A = this chain, B = another copy of it.
Amino acid sequence: MPRVTSADVARESGVSRTTVSYVLNDTTGTVISEETRRRVRAVADRLGYAPSAAARTLRSGRSDLVLCVLPDWPVGPVVDALLDQLTGELAARDLSVLVHHHREHRPLADLWRAVTPRAVVGLAAFSAAEAEGMRRAGIQVIGSVVDPDPRGPDEFAAYQTRVGRLQVQHLAGAGHRALGYATTTDPRLADFAGPRLDGVREECRWLGLPDPPVVPVDVTAEAGLAAVRALRQGPVTAVAAYNDEVALAVLAGARAAGVRVPQEVAVIGVDDVPAAQLAAPPLTTVSQSLELQARFLSASVLAALDGGPEPPRPTDLLRLVVRSSA
């Protein structure tokens, strides 16, 4: 079963390949009779003709693909949802999103060369050399809100910092004076964990609160228990966690230790994962608006492809979701 080509369509409809191409691509600036158009389209349909993307890409040097490179850290439902929405938004512009779970298995260059995407969206950070290589190949390189160093070196950190500040603001607003921080043990998350903790510290300083003790917490009940015990050694009455999973572990630890939440210790997370509202007690958390982030990303991609101006960075991406744990 050989491939159906535009030559087949041309022969079958009694026109040249040029005409087939014009008709099927709705090329402007050519006048082709309605009659001919109809015939060509009918034949193409009947034959099940589909243009060869490889040939098209070779000829034009560009594809309809947008490559989305995922970072080395565990993505979770938040990023899943973001990808879904990005896929939808770009599909409206006839762009297909392809996601690559990058894990240092092979050089990134092998991938984008093989795919020849129109644009590469990095949810992972690219090295300067990688980004440069892609740009030279005519590929648009787009960072993201969740990407370290998307435009300026400080923008990402500033954003993550605000996550931490917001946690402290809520806790302090509820009257807590002695805070603790439960951070992740996953080294791949250092780019996030660092700035978030910085934000927590800065806000504490700003509010005149003591510098919070920091405890690394695995996502297990045992680690949560150890963390709660360690934190309760001191005067800590509230814990800000790196994310909801860590917060859930702290919650489990408090439960095991017989420490009541939020009466004896308050807990606040980040992300608002599905399990957050089902926790005991329901978890107070900071959610990052996926809709806005996804819309910003797709707008960035489109702007880069159209050569338009960069879309404005979304503001107030962060929202406090107050439940019972803090």
Contact = CB atoms under 8 A, between A and B. Distances in A.
A116 to B, nearest CB: 6
Given A87-B103, A248-B278, A113 B50 contact: yes
Nearest to A77: B76
Most chain B CB within a 10 A radius of its CB, from A105, A110, A248: A105
A23 interface: no
Contacts of A61: 3
Interface in A2-22: 3
Contact of A91 (B94, B106, B251): B106
Contacts of A245: 274-275, 278
A65 B117 CA distance: 13
Contacts of A109: 50
> How many copies altogether?
2
A136 interface: yes
Interface of A: 1, 3, 48, 50-55, 57-58, 61, 63-65, 67, 74-77, 80, 83-84, 87-88, 91-92, 94, 96-101, 103, 105-106, 109-111, 113-116, 133, 136-137, 219-221, 224, 245, 248-249, 251-252, 255, 273-275, 277-280, 282
14 contacts: A3-B61, A52-B113, A52-B116, A54-B58, A63-B114, A67-B98, A88-B105, A91-B106, A97-B101, A98-B98, A98-B115, A248-B274, A252-B282, A275-B275
